[in-house]
Structure 1
Amino acid sequence: MILQIIDICYLVAVVLFIVGIKMMSHPDSARKGNSTALAGMILAILASFLTPGLDNLALILIAMALGTVGGLYSAKTVQMTAMPQLVSFFNGMGGAAAALIGLVEYGDLPIGDIGKGAVLMSSLVIGSVSFSGSLVAMGKLQGVLKDIRINKMLGFVVLAIAVGLAAYILTSGAPQPTLIYVLVVLSLIYGLMFVYPIGGADMPVVISLLNSLTGVTAATTGLLYDNKVMLMGGILVGSAGILLTLLMAKAMNRSVSNILFTSFGASAGTAAAGQDGDQVAKEINSYDSSILLAYAKRVVIVPGYGLAVAQAQHAVHDLEKILEEKGVEVLYGIHPVAGRMPGHMNVLLAESDVSYDKLIEMDDINEKFPNTDVVMVIGANDVVNPAANDDPSSPIYGMPILEVNRATNVIVIKRSMSSGYAGIQNALFFDPKTRMLFGDAKKVLNELVGEVKNM
């Protein structure tokens, strides 16, 4: 009877997960969706306490308390700019948990049980790769780790040795505790070798893929324990992570294999072709910018990572409201991979109560640029670089971009002329329609608000 109650609770929890994910697809219901999924997780945890023969209850409660406090503190204190790093860290912890479970369970593995052994080995290998790879991704996003050139064939050799060792352990017919630890070490090393060579611009895609791998380890752990909610939850995370990875790769007009096994996105890029030292970007001041904005019919704002760094989301919303009071139509152009993770700009702008209806996706906003008086680019770089359309020699050639250069005027708010995450100069800065407004985004936007108010 107790087992049936547990299974029913797990089934309800999985349904709540699915409903919650569905609700997260729209900002208006995203908070409720998050709460719904949370309710499912709480139900699954409470149901697990009904498991017959459960022991070490005190240790379980202590671990849960520590995890809850740490998670709440991290979520409450993290800056929006560091959210991708936090996601990567949490993802790595999931992989580590799966690997540790595999280590613990290996001692109880019945000799000759190839099926269960294969599941356990998968948890060990994939969990370890996800753990070390996620930590490297976090370090790269934080800027404390740089790209390192590693021979990718050497990485494949390490992976092949790890897989071969796992197969040997499974078929040897005798406990091999030393070899198990060697397998974990090899998997951790491969995780480092897998992520280190990938350029910083591609880290969001890598994090999405690693998140999918962590989902796979959760599913394999569910198989190991015959735990249905872990199995289904892992399948949901794994499949969602794969879909997101494919969608992000499509948004960059590249294949996943190209992202994972080439060097695009490395920070040590070169200037775009055709941009030599004779070309000079034209500057504009806040007063002249405010005139362009105040007397425009349509203004499109393109947010990027620089907006998040400056924490200028409230200032840009203030500017939007002032312009609308003067009869200006204000929209936001959102690129699928703007920022450091999918939906980064949507979440950032939602934080300042920008209406979701004003956030226009790339394909739709590109059609509006020819009839736009002013585009204001705030901290975005690679996603508005026309070299993606015009320069076959550019590393980002073929990547879909926001075609802001089709508008009548372009104002770019940046601290400097530095390149974006792809490491290449932006041809947009030298376009005759473009004016550079240098400074901290929050300070500049507040100045624009004051100037527009006085007109």
Structure 2
Amino acid sequence: MNLILLSVSYFLASVLFVLGLSGLTKPKTARRGVGLAGVGMLLAVLATLLHQDIITYQWIIIGLIVGTLIGIPMGLWIPMTKMPERIALSHAFGGLAVALVGIAKYWSHLHVDGELSKFFMGAIGFEVVLGSLTFTGSLMAFGKLQGVISGKPMTFKGQNQFNFLIVVSSLVLLVYLVFHPHLSTAFFVMACLGFCLGIFLVLPIGGADMPVVICLLNSYAGLAAAAAGFALDNNVLIICGALDGGSGFLLAMLMSRAMNRSFRNVLFGAFGGEVGGDQVATQNKPILQFAPEDVMEYLQGSSSVVIVPGYGMAVAQAQHAVRELHELLEKNGTEVRYAIHPVAGRMPGHMNVLLAEANIPYEKLIEMDEINPDLPKVDACIVLGANDVVNPSARDDPKSSIYGMPIINADAARMVFVVKRSMASGFAGIDNPLFYKDNTRMVFGDAKAVLQNIVSKLKEAA
């Protein structure tokens, strides 16, 4: 394939990537967006494989086969409830691939070509550092999400200073290599520091902050790919990496804003850990408790219901039970909607993905700012495993650690049913005044079991 045809192919692939990203902004066009981006990637891969610089296809074919054998089962068999973990693994593999390409390219130029320009060395250095920290950081995120590693923040004295030292050391080695590229020992020390940095950056971040972390790791992977594009003189990698890095960074900013948190607070604040109720200074106030049959009786007379899904729904895998309740209530003439908080769950759009997997119509999923004005007119609000995203302290208490964080005003509804396993706090480790309000009824138990109980009672009463 000549260079003109290659350039045209890369240009068309880039256009398809942009159109695909644009399609993902709306639910109705999301499927088309994924398809366009997939066609763009296929075009870019085929154009690269047909380029004259490729001499042998043996290892490429082996790689394609291995990747396909791993990718297809992951796509088909991993349940939607494990989507955050799958995304973290995908980021890890992407980061590792970029880092290995950078190392191979450096070694090839060092021992075969013998020449390394300052610009090339700088691009390779950024590629390897960002790729390696994305790999280990994503594996740490996967471990926390999967429960292999504790989801609580893991800190030690002087941790931020230690991380800063790793960053500075990596940059110093990178600058040194730009002017002395033949010192391979410095290069591999820099790569090792990148791997270490990924571990220690994610270590102090709690499980509840994973949506922001996943966005940042996505951004790092994109920037690493863009750096690889400069090193390989590949325009489509530069464009694709820039799109990935920019969108990931922007999404991380939006997620942080939705939590009323700064990047610095997320990355270095050791916040976001799940804290048990015995570790929290809970208010010694009585609560009003309902059994599932009591909830069923109230719902039978309700004309409008809003469901607020949270991480507890994901843990209990209760989305299909939610769908059953939804259908029964609608048959009874009740309007059912879902209030979606942008940081509910463990990844961006976590609740949207789970509810979509249960075939709940997307138009029933309402954003926080849109649903809040309607809540005072709602007969019942069912809070499923959500905590801090419905905590009135964020709105009313200037002394609260989450004050200023936008929340779903569940307490404004005429009646609130909070489905939880216990009175344990959320990731902020503070008490929730919602639990003690006169219009709140606590329903203790596993979200899935509670909903199934309510559904069975509704069926019996029908």
TM-score after normalising by structure 1: 0.94
Cα separation, partners in 2 of 1:26 and 1:448, compared to 1, 3 Å: same
Looking at structure 1, the residues matched to 176 and 56 of structure 2 have their Cα atoms a distance apart, in angstroms, of 33
1:60, distance to aligned residue in structure 2 (A): 0.8
- For 1:54, the aligned partner's letter is I
Q: Give per-residue Cα distances to partners, 1:83-135, cap 9 Å, x unaligned.
A: 11111111121111111111111120554611111101111111111111111
Looking at structure 1, the residues matched to 116 and 309 of structure 2 have their Cα atoms a distance apart, in angstroms, of 57
Cα separation, partners in 2 of 1:309 and 1:266, compared to 1, 3 Å: closer
1:56, distance to aligned residue in structure 2 (A): 3.5
Residue number in structure 1 paired with 2:359: 353
| Contact 2:209/2:346 (8 A) holds in 1 | no
Query: Alignment partner for residue 405 of structure 2, among 399, 409, 412?
Result: 399
Residue number in structure 2 paired with 1:77: 77
| Contact 1:217/1:234 (8 A) holds in 2 | yes
Query: Percent of aligned positions with the same letter in both sequences?
Result: 45
Structure 1 residue 311 corresponds to structure 2 residue 311: no
Kindly report the root-mean-square deviation, in angstroms, between the aligned alpha carbons of the 2 structures.
Answer: 1.9
Q: Give per-residue Cα distances to partners, 1:354-389, cap 9 Å, x unaligned.
A: 222211110111111111111001121221122222
Residue number in structure 2 paired with 1:444: 450
| Contact 2:220/2:245 (8 A) holds in 1 | yes
| Contact 1:316/1:445 (8 A) holds in 2 | yes
Structure 2 portions without partners, runs of 5+:
none
Query: Alignment partner for residue 326 of structure 1, among 325, 332, 342?
Result: 332
Looking at structure 2, the residues matched to 16 and 145 of structure 1 have their Cα atoms a distance apart, in angstroms, of 39
- For 1:451, the aligned partner's letter is K
Query: Superposed, which structure 2 residues align to 1:369-408 within 5 Å?
Result: 369-408=375-414
- For 1:437, the aligned partner's letter is V
Residue number in structure 1 paired with 2:293: 287
Structure 1 residue 26 corresponds to structure 2 residue 30: no
Query: Superposed, which structure 2 residues align to 1:95-106 within 5 Å?
Result: 95-106=95-106
1:272, distance to aligned residue in structure 2 (A): 9.5
- For 1:313, the aligned partner's letter is Q
Looking at structure 2, the residues matched to 423 and 273 of structure 1 have their Cα atoms a distance apart, in angstroms, of 6
Looking at structure 1, the residues matched to 57 and 121 of structure 2 have their Cα atoms a distance apart, in angstroms, of 27
SS in 2 for 1:160: helix
Structure 1 residue 415 corresponds to structure 2 residue 429: no
Looking at structure 2, the residues matched to 53 and 161 of structure 1 have their Cα atoms a distance apart, in angstroms, of 36
Deviates most, 136-145 or 294-303: 136-145
Looking at structure 1, the residues matched to 383 and 101 of structure 2 have their Cα atoms a distance apart, in angstroms, of 48
| Contact 1:282/1:430 (8 A) holds in 2 | yes
Structure 1 portions without partners, runs of 5+:
none
Residue number in structure 2 paired with 1:341: 347
1:63, distance to aligned residue in structure 2 (A): 0.9
Looking at structure 2, the residues matched to 405 and 260 of structure 1 have their Cα atoms a distance apart, in angstroms, of 31
Residue number in structure 2 paired with 1:65: 65
- For 2:22, the aligned partner's letter is K
Query: Alignment partner for residue 162 of structure 1, among 170, 181, 184?
Result: 170
| Contact 1:92/1:133 (8 A) holds in 2 | yes
1:353, distance to aligned residue in structure 2 (A): 2.2
Looking at structure 2, the residues matched to 198 and 307 of structure 1 have their Cα atoms a distance apart, in angstroms, of 22
Residue number in structure 2 paired with 1:193: 200
SS in 1 for 2:135: helix
| Contact 2:260/2:402 (8 A) holds in 1 | no
Residue number in structure 1 paired with 2:125: 121
SS in 2 for 1:330: strand
- For 1:445, the aligned partner's letter is L
1:284, distance to aligned residue in structure 2 (A): 0.8
Looking at structure 2, the residues matched to 69 and 318 of structure 1 have their Cα atoms a distance apart, in angstroms, of 36
1:269, distance to aligned residue in structure 2 (A): 7.1
Looking at structure 2, the residues matched to 80 and 392 of structure 1 have their Cα atoms a distance apart, in angstroms, of 38
Query: Alignment partner for residue 434 of structure 2, among 418, 428, 439?
Result: 428
1:249, distance to aligned residue in structure 2 (A): 0.9
Looking at structure 2, the residues matched to 270 and 449 of structure 1 have their Cα atoms a distance apart, in angstroms, of 29
Looking at structure 2, the residues matched to 430 and 417 of structure 1 have their Cα atoms a distance apart, in angstroms, of 11
| Contact 1:80/1:308 (8 A) holds in 2 | no
SS in 1 for 2:336: strand
Query: Alignment partner for residue 141 of structure 1, among 142, 145, 164?
Result: 145
SS in 2 for 1:368: helix
SS in 1 for 2:358: coil
| Contact 1:273/1:391 (8 A) holds in 2 | no
Looking at structure 2, the residues matched to 211 and 112 of structure 1 have their Cα atoms a distance apart, in angstroms, of 29
Looking at structure 1, the residues matched to 397 and 147 of structure 2 have their Cα atoms a distance apart, in angstroms, of 29
Deviates most, 74-83 or 163-172: 74-83
Looking at structure 2, the residues matched to 128 and 350 of structure 1 have their Cα atoms a distance apart, in angstroms, of 34
Looking at structure 2, the residues matched to 268 and 292 of structure 1 have their Cα atoms a distance apart, in angstroms, of 32
| Contact 1:112/1:171 (8 A) holds in 2 | no
Looking at structure 2, the residues matched to 313 and 33 of structure 1 have their Cα atoms a distance apart, in angstroms, of 26
Q: Give per-residue Cα distances to partners, 1:208-252, cap 9 Å, x unaligned.
A: 011101101111111111111111110110111011011101111
1:18, distance to aligned residue in structure 2 (A): 1.5
Cα separation, partners in 2 of 1:80 and 1:424, compared to 1, 3 Å: farther
Looking at structure 2, the residues matched to 268 and 435 of structure 1 have their Cα atoms a distance apart, in angstroms, of 22
Looking at structure 2, the residues matched to 273 and 30 of structure 1 have their Cα atoms a distance apart, in angstroms, of 42
Looking at structure 1, the residues matched to 29 and 456 of structure 2 have their Cα atoms a distance apart, in angstroms, of 34
1:270, distance to aligned residue in structure 2 (A): 7.1
| Contact 2:207/2:273 (8 A) holds in 1 | yes
Residue number in structure 2 paired with 1:183: 190
SS in 1 for 2:408: coil
1:268, distance to aligned residue in structure 2 (A): 4.4
1:5, distance to aligned residue in structure 2 (A): 1.6
| Contact 2:131/2:220 (8 A) holds in 1 | yes
| Contact 2:275/2:427 (8 A) holds in 1 | no
Looking at structure 2, the residues matched to 64 and 421 of structure 1 have their Cα atoms a distance apart, in angstroms, of 41
- For 2:213, the aligned partner's letter is V
- For 1:255, the aligned partner's letter is S
How many positions carry a matched residue from both structures? 453
1:203, distance to aligned residue in structure 2 (A): 1.6
